[in-house]
């Protein structure tokens, strides 16, 4: 028997519902919020707040909420709150300037070797803190072959593009058939080397990661799936099974988290999250994002100083492979840049003052060959 057969048997056993049931039994529209164990005041608040950003929560994710805790970190990510209606000056519709760098519909090209491709603007779950929520509110922006035509032609015309990043929306909210068609369209372009998928499905709807879905993505290209776990309680048996399927398919798994006040802004939570991602799921923590300037999200943003202190603590506590890079995605298309921690204090010619992991500043005197010294 092949490993794959064993693997898929294990998956069948670990899911007592299919993903369709998970979707059907979850919150699909504002009206469904009424079925949740919220107080009348909380329900009214959630319904009012939902006017600004869609709601959708699969049953598997709803089941992770501790309804006895009003500040539950799972609940905070998906149940609308009236804090979202409080917008601050300086918050943005398009915090990282996706639109400004979009030469054709459904594509953003900011870095020479990689593009974002938006096959759909729908998601399996709608996160309250989403930095693309303004794109997601418009209707009629699902996948069609026609809608991606110009984007694929653009990629074919730009030989410097090596990575195509499917994002959205959530690309894994599409059918196997649609995914296979998109993958085939991309792999037919000879200069593309890697297909990347940015998705929250392994977190919010892990039962959707099926052998059929994985097969739809397999072909000529190296496949990297970038998941979006924000809290260790999201790392469940079902998420583990989903990640195992993808690892056995040969996909490289990475995770990006968003630093969110009241959700994961503590050393203990982030430390456990990063360890469990790597040790249990085989998912390498890639980025920890500072909160974007999405509208109505001030209540979830930490300060940069707080983020740097957390990132510094993680650097001391976690192994290199468990450590994410703390980044900010700058407005106006400045791109993602690391915010620290920074260990270099300065230098006097060849004498560099560098802070060690123990907090002590040491001098590192450079010694290089003649050629380097002259240049």
- Interaction site with ligand PLP (CB under 6 A): 96, 108, 110-111, 114, 116, 165, 336
Q: Are 368 and 357 in contact (CB under 8 A)?
A: no
Residue indicated by tokens 């923590």: 285
Q: Looking at beta carbons only, is 109 or 200 nearer to ligand SF4?
A: 200
Q: Closer to ligand SF4 at the Cβ: 46 or 125?
A: 125
Could you say which of ligand SF4, ligand PLP, none residue 130 binds, taking C-beta under 5 to 8 angstroms by partner kind? ligand SF4
- Closest to ligand SF4 by CB, 122 vs 312, is 122
Contact flags string 129-158 toward ligand SF4, x per CB under 6 A: -x-x--------------------------
Judged by CB under 6 A, does residue 200 bind ligand SF4? yes
* Smallest gap from residue 355 Cβ to ligand SF4 (A): 35
Q: What minimum distance in Å lies between the beta carbon of 259 and ligand SF4?
A: 14
Binding partner of residue 201 among ligand PLP, ligand SF4, none, CB under 5 to 8 Å per kind? Answer: none
Residue 317, SS3?
Answer: helix
72 contact choice in ligand PLP, ligand SF4, none (CB below 5 to 8 Å, kind-dependent): none
Name the one range near ligand SF4 by CB under 6 A: 79-87, 165-173, 263-271, 352-360: 165-173
Q: How far is the CB of 285 from ligand SF4 (least distance, A)?
A: 17
Rounded CA-CA distance 269/287 in Å is 16
Site string for ligand SF4, 109-128 (x = CB under 6 A): --------------x-xxx-
d(CA 226, CA 171): 11
Q: Dihedral through CA 360, CA 365, CA 368, CA 370, nearest 10?
A: 160
* Secondary structure (DSSP) of 209-245: --HHHHHHH-SSSEEEEEE---SGGG--HHHHHHHHH
Strands 351-355 and 361-365: antiparallel
User: Least distance from C-beta 311 to ligand PLP, angstroms?
Assistant: 16
Tell me if 324 sits within 8 A of 333, measured CB to CB. no
User: Could you say which residues in the range 328-367 bind ligand SF4, by CB under 6 A?
Assistant: none
Question: Phi and psi of 48, rounded to 5°?
Answer: -65, -45
Enumerate residues 6+ apart whose C-beta is below 8 A from 35: 27
Q: Give me the residue whose beta carbon is nearest to ligand PLP.
A: 110
Give me the residues paired with residue 328 across strands.
337
Q: How far apart are the first and last CA of the chain?
A: 61
Our CB check for ligand SF4 shows the closer of 287 and 312 to be 287
Is 256 or 312 the residue whose CB approaches ligand SF4 more closely?
Answer: 256
For tokens 């939902």, the residue is 50
The tokens for 62 are: 């709803």
CB of 35 to ligand PLP, least distance (A): 36
Q: How far is the CB of 224 from ligand SF4 (least distance, A)?
A: 17
Distance CA 228, CA 273 (A): 11
Spatial CA neighbour of 195 closest among 228, 160, 154, 166:
166
Tell me the residue number closest to ligand SF4, measured at CB.
130
Judge whether 336 and 324 are in contact, CB under 8 Å: no
Shortest distance, CB of residue 103 to ligand PLP, whole angstroms?
12
**Of 227, 230, 236, nearest to 261 (Cα)?**
230
Residue 336 interacting entry, from ligand SF4, ligand PLP, none, C-beta within 5 to 8 Å by type: ligand PLP
Residues that bind ligand SF4 (CB under 6 A): 123, 125-127, 130, 132, 168-170, 200
């Amino acid at each position: 028997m092949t490993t794959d057969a064993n693997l898929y048997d294990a998956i069948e056993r670990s899911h007592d519902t299919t993903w369709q049931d998970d979707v059907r039994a979850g919150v699909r529209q504002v009206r469904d919020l009424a079925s949740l164990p919220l107080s009348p005041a909380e329900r009214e608040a959630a319904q009012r707040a939902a006017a600004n950003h869609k709601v959708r929560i699969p049953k598997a994710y709803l089941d992770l909420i501790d309804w006895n805790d009003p500040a539950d970190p799972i609940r905070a990510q998906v149940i609308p709150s009236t804090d979202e209606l409080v917008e601050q000056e300086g918050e943005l519709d398009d915090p990282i300037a996706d639109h400004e760098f979009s030469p054709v519909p459904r594509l953003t090209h900011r870095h020479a070797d990689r593009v974002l491709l938006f096959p759909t603007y729908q998601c399996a779950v709608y996160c309250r803190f989403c930095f693309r929520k303004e794109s997601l509110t418009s209707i009629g922006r699902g996948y069609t072959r026609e809608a991606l035509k110009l984007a694929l032609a653009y990629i074919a015309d730009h030989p410097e593009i090596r990575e195509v990043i499917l994002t959205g929306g959530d690309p894994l909210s599409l059918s196997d058939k649609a995914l296979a068609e998109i993958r085939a369209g991309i792999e037919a372009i000879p200069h593309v080397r890697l297909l990347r998928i940015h998705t929250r499905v392994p977190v919010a709807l892990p039962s959707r990661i099926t052998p059929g879905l994985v097969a739809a993505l397999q072909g000529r290209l190296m496949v990297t799936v970038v998941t979006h776990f924000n809290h260790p309680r999201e790392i469940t048996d079902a998420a583990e099974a989903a990640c195992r399927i993808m690892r056995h398919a040969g996909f490289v798994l990475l995770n990006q988290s968003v630093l969110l006040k009241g959700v994961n802004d503590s050393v203990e939570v982030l430390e456990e999250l990063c360890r469990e991602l790597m040790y249990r799921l085989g998912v390498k923590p890639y980025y920890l994002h500072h909160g974007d300037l999405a509208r109505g999200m001030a209540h979830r943003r930490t300060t940069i100083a707080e983020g740097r202190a957390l990132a510094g603590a993680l650097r001391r506590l976690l192994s290199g492979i468990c450590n994410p890079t703390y980044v900010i995605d700058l407005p106006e298309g400045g791109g993602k840049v690391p915010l620290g921690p920074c260990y270099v204090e300065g230098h006097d010619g060849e004498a560099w003052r560098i802070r060690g992991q123990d907090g002590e500043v040491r001098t590192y005197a450079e010694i290089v060959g003649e050629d380097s010294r002259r240049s």
